[in-house]
Amino acid sequence: MPGTLIYLSSCAVAADGKTNAFMMQEHPWLLKHFSNVQMVSFYGVKTLTTKDREYITPQKLGFAALKSWLSVLLMRDLWQELNHLRRDKKANLINILKLVMFTQRGLKMHYWLEALLKKDGDIRPTLYSCWMSFDGYAAALTKRKHPQLRFVVRGHAFDIDAERNPMNPYLMKQMIAKQADGIYLISESAKAQYLEYMQEDAPMDKIHVVGMGSSGNPVEMIKEPPMLRQGVLRVVSCANISEIKQIHLMIEALEKWEGMPICWTHMGGGEGEDALRKLAEEKLDTKENVIYEFMGSLDFEKVQKQYDTHAYDLFINTSRKEGVPVSIMEAMRHGIPIIAPAVGGIPEMVTEDIGYLYDGAQGAQGLLAALEAFSKLPEDQVLLMRQAARKRWNEHYCSSNLLPKLFE
């Protein structure tokens, strides 16, 4: 596919020019199918196709931040959404300030896009926004000014779900939908959340459900389950330690575990890590059939290495709310069955042939029951489940198979 792709993601490039490894998962495919790939984040602009992968600092792009602040109160879109807030009796000071900040951030990225378009010279690049947030608004502003451009946008969880972020219905969703050529939501759950507040403004001909997917090649060799070889149930989880991820539920479930020896490894850190370690010491250190390990924060490459060099029987998710977690996809890629709560888009991912769903309202008790059920499975069913997990990733969550749908 010739031409330029401009990839917008607020968190893909940090202020020091380093790229976010998670957000870079799609880039091998993008680099293969576009002759020029450039990335616009909230902190700067980076070209990914040149040998030195040039990072363009905000200073080189002119006074975009200052210009955005000077222009924000002149934006028609801002006043339309303020009126939207007023009609819904939600125009308090905090919500107004959130909307102004959102508009300013989108304007800044829009001005950076304009600078890129002048510099590049490609008359019809593709704009690809990873989030339906202020980066999606920036792309929509640019599309409105340059109608010949193609603009596609994804929608995930926090940028769609009005329960998770009550401001979502007021953050330029109608304007983004009007300008986009394609709207790609990561799950049927996300689509339902989006349509709930879009209603008659939803452009149904543009809306598609396409998962985010995860990168990497299919794993050809499925490791032998430790529970069958060693008599030890080896469980892994991977998530930031935060309130919404509810990692403490795993500790509470293991406190009541009376089955075979179990070894739990958690990858991920966060503000709640110290408290979680303390809770594990209190609840699990005296249990003879439970071993646990907290690996702390790991970058994307180290997480992949852990999966490549260790065999696990189960992947556990305990989140209170989710979209379609890439962490579950990565476990599937390595043929690891899943236990997860039936929230968000997870039920669309975890079918009964690859794992167990539990009622999130049951908390640790629901998780414990799923663990007990898995530990009692016969050997042939465990092996079939591992094969089915890998097959489901290959067919539904391999990003190189999903991305062509966005750029048809």
Residues 6+ apart with CB under 8 A from 359: 341, 342, 366
User: Residues spanned by CATH 3.40.50.2000 within the chain?
Assistant: 4-210, 226-397
DSSP 39: E
Give residue 143's pLDDT.
97
Residues 6+ apart with CB under 8 A from 270: 240, 241, 242, 297
**Architecture, CATH, for domain 4-210:** 3-Layer(aba) Sandwich (3.40)
Q: In what helix (H) or strand (E) does residue 38 lie, and over which residues does it extend?
A: strand 36-40
Please tell me the distance from the alpha carbon of residue 186 to that of residue 183, in angstroms, as a whole number. Answer: 10
String of DSSP letters for 190-257: HHHHHHHHHGGG--TTTEEE----B-SPPP-SPPPPHHHHTS-EEEEEE---SGGG-THHHHHHHHT-
* Residue 167, φ and ψ in degrees, nearest 5: -80, -10
CB 298, CB 265: distance < 8 Å: no
Give residue 243's pLDDT.
93
Give residue 117's pLDDT.
86
Ramachandran category for residue 12: left, alpha or beta (phi over 0 → left; psi -120 to 50 → alpha): alpha
CA–CA distances in Å: residue 87 to residues 26, 159, 190, 202:
40, 22, 25, 19
> Considering the chain, what is the average pLDDT of its residues?
90
Write down the residue that tokens 């690049």 correspond to: 125
Copy the structure tokens of residue 309: 């060099």
What residues form DSSP beta bridges with 332? none
String of DSSP letters for 114-132: HHHHHHH--SSPEEEESSS
Residues of the chain with pLDDT under 70: 1-2, 15, 21-23, 48-62, 120-123, 221-222
Q: Which fold has domain 226-397?
A: Rossmann fold (3.40.50)
Write down the residue that tokens 């999606």 correspond to: 136
Q: Which of 42, 47, 43 is nearest to 6 (CA)?
A: 47
Residues 6+ apart with CB under 8 A from 350: 328, 338, 340, 356, 357
